[in-house]
Structure 1
């Protein structure tokens, strides 16, 4: 079974979120996009999946 990709998404008042595809509530929040990208990069490397970085508009 292939791994589930990691997404860095805007999270409104909570800053930025690192979320695993297909999971409910399995997100971690960070105050800045840079911190979220750093954490997401490590997680994606460990899981051997892709990191998808979204902009402020969620795209």
Structure 2
């Protein structure tokens, strides 16, 4: 996925960039890595949240 994002960036039109479209593809490899680490370390398993368990019991407790 990283390679694809890096591949798309240079093909964005000036119009797209000016309007903020696809700008996530303009990141460098270093920025992509930093973003991944940031989001990977700040995520939690939603199945452990009681409100989520009430709304989606079949996803939280698949064996029942």
Larger Rg: 2
Q: Is the TM-score greater than 0.5?
A: no
Q: Normalising by the residue count of structure 2, what TM-score does the alignment of the two structures yield?
A: 0.35
Q: Normalising by the residue count of structure 1, what TM-score does the alignment of the two structures yield?
A: 0.37
Q: Name the structure with the higher strand share.
A: 1
Q: Name the structure with the higher helix share.
A: 2
